[in-house]
Amino acid sequence: MRAVVISRPGGPGVLELRDVPEPAYGPEEVRVAVRATALNRADLLQRRGRYPAPPGAPADIPGLEFAGEVESRGERVVDLRPGDRVMGLLGGGGYAEKVSLHERMCLRIPPTLGWEEAAAVPEAFMTAFDALFERGRLRPGGTVLLHAAASGVGTAALQIAGVAGARAIALSRSADKRRRLEEMGLTPVFDPASPGLAESIRAAAGGGVDLVVDLLGADAWGVNLEVLDTGGRIVLVGTVSGSRVEADLSLLMRKRLTVVGTVLRSRPIEEKIALARAFDRRVVPLLASGRLRPVIDRVLPLAAAAQAHAAMEANENFGKIVLRVD
């Protein structure tokens, strides 16, 4: 089969399309013919040698999600059959014509979603769902601040929060992306570099936010603490801007704040399956009905993975970048 391989740590040019062996699959696993996959920031870090694949995942093939058709199955697989349309999360290996994974990690693709749309769902929407509700305990009527709101996770979280009856406040450095977020009906949207940002956010929230979903890390730490209401929570999803901060612990104590970190990729398979099943019950029906929809920036062929990586590194994308597997 063909796959995009990281030939050595480095820039986008180290990605090469090669012939590699097909993945094996165990008795409770299925092998899937991939129709599309999608980019994530973790792929860029892995390409640079800064985020190694977890045990059991291909060390040199990036890709954390897929959409495709079940090709074959292990002898203890119960629910899935060859020909079933599925999507799901991976520890790696998604930039390939075939992947294998536990059947309980697979989600049936609603008939309302095509291959490219389905490929844009798993990582962004499951990360958002986990951060908002499983980790962040967001409730109807609550307020959430979302950093990097124009990203795949950001656009997913904004939609999910709205459907759940919560109020979202969005941040984006790009004027064009802020305009596009507003066109989606997602307001208010602020520039994180604007003067008096914390005061503006607190005013928009009516005093303070209940939850911050932070994809940035160090650069956002100060404003996060300022805008959180008493008893508020930070769910740290990414550290794109850095992972080291100087913290005023007395402020966390006075405001009774909670800081929670979360990573999907390295979780034990049992936890991933539990999250996938909860997501299937609570979010997939909303995708099927059209109340939620993945935001896709562009679709490129698998062979253009280097071009896709360059675009994401330049922060060009609004929503997800999808790779089509022909």
Q: What are the structural domain ranges in the chain?
A: 2-121+267-324, 124-261
The rounded distance, in Å, linking the Cα atoms of 99 and 249 is 45
CA distances from 72 to 19, 32, 186, 273 (A): 20, 7, 42, 20
Specify the pTM: 0.96
CATH number of 2-121+267-324: 3.90.180.10
Q: Say whether 205 sits in a helix, a strand or coil.
A: helix
Nearest alpha-carbon partner for 6 in 31, 42, 43 = 43
User: What average pLDDT does this structure show over 302-312?
Assistant: 99
% residues pLDDT > 70 (the chain): 100
Q: Assign 3-class secondary structure to 216-253.
A: CEHHHHHHHHHHEEEEEEEEECCCCCECCCCCCHHHHH
Provide the CB-side half-sphere exposure for 82 (13 A, CA): 5
**Mean pLDDT of the residues in the chain:** 97
Q: Which CATH number fits domain 124-261: 3.40.50.300, 3.30.70.420, 3.40.50.720, 3.10.520.10?
A: 3.40.50.720
User: What average pLDDT does this structure show over 132-149?
Assistant: 97
